[in-house]
Amino acid sequence: MQQEESLYQNPNYNFDFLGGIDNVYSFQTQNEFVYEVIFRPTPYLFGENSLYADVIYELIIRVARNNSTKKRPPFDALVAPTIAAIFTNFYEKSPLTIAIYICDSSDNRQLIRQAKFNRWFEYFDKNDFTKLDDSIRDSDGTKYPVSLILKQNNPHRKAIFWAFLEMIEGYNYQK
């Protein structure tokens, strides 16, 4: 999948698909950060017996290694298009994929993560992908922003969004 064209033609970092159960992609930046983009199977989202159980993945985007002296990655114009290219690559292999992005709140940076993800999503082809945003709140009062991303032409798009909203409303399935 490597991009052999020039930077001008393809303004993103080269990435590699490591595969595995978690569908791990990796790339590294000029600022010496290594990123991973992971599509981890999440069949329990709508219930293990759901029609969609086999195509639901939790999207994880993380800094896997920081080889720099900076605490956090500085702005890098090539990161967002690289993530978008990885998305396109994965959905080409699995067009019915439903990706859910849940913003980790363990360090109270969930809203920052949400804003960053929204900025990255700006680089996605809007004619190709669609995103539904909402949030869930646990009984401790912690709010988790969540996004569901799928292809615009997913034949089950409306039903999936409906099921997602139902889940947000109360995770309404029989266990």
Partner 1 sequence: METTQTPLTPAQRQANIDRFIKRWKEERAKEQTEFEARVKSPQYQAMLKELRKKNATRGIIIPEPKL
Separation of alpha carbons 147 and 142, rounded Å: 16
Where are the strands (E) in the chain, listed by range?
16-19, 24-28, 33-41, 56-66, 98-102, 129-137, 143-151
Separation of alpha carbons 121 and 124, rounded Å: 5
Q: How many residues bind partner 1 (CB under 8 A)?
A: 57
* Cα-based distances in Å from 155 to 29, 55, 95, 99: 36, 13, 10, 15
Region from 43-51, 84-92, 117-125, 126-134 binding partner 1, contact rule CB under 8 A: 43-51
Binding mask 95-134 for partner 1 (x = CB under 8 A): -------x-x------------------------------
Site for partner 1 in 44-73 (CB under 8 A): 44-47, 49-52, 58, 60, 62, 64-65, 67
Q: Give the number of residues written for the chain.
A: 175
Choice from 111, 137, 152, 165 touching partner 1 (CB under 8 A): 137
Measured from the CB atom, the residue of 26 and 94 that comes closer to partner 1 is: 26
Measured from the CB atom, the residue of 74 and 170 that comes closer to partner 1 is: 170
Q: Token pair for residue 172?
A: 């309404």
Any contact of residue 22 with partner 1 (CB under 8 A)? yes
Residue 38, Cβ neighbours under 10 Å: how many?
19
Measured from the CB atom, the residue of 14 and 88 that comes closer to partner 1 is: 14
Q: What is the DSSP string of 50-87?
A: STTGGGEEEEEEEEEEE-SS-SSPPP-TTHHHHHHHHH
Any contact of residue 1 with partner 1 (CB under 8 A)? no
Which residues of the chain form contacts with partner 1 (CB under 8 A)?
2-7, 10, 13-16, 18, 22, 24, 26-30, 32, 34, 36, 38, 40, 42, 44-47, 49-52, 58, 60, 62, 64-65, 67, 78, 102, 104, 136-139, 144, 163, 166-167, 169-175
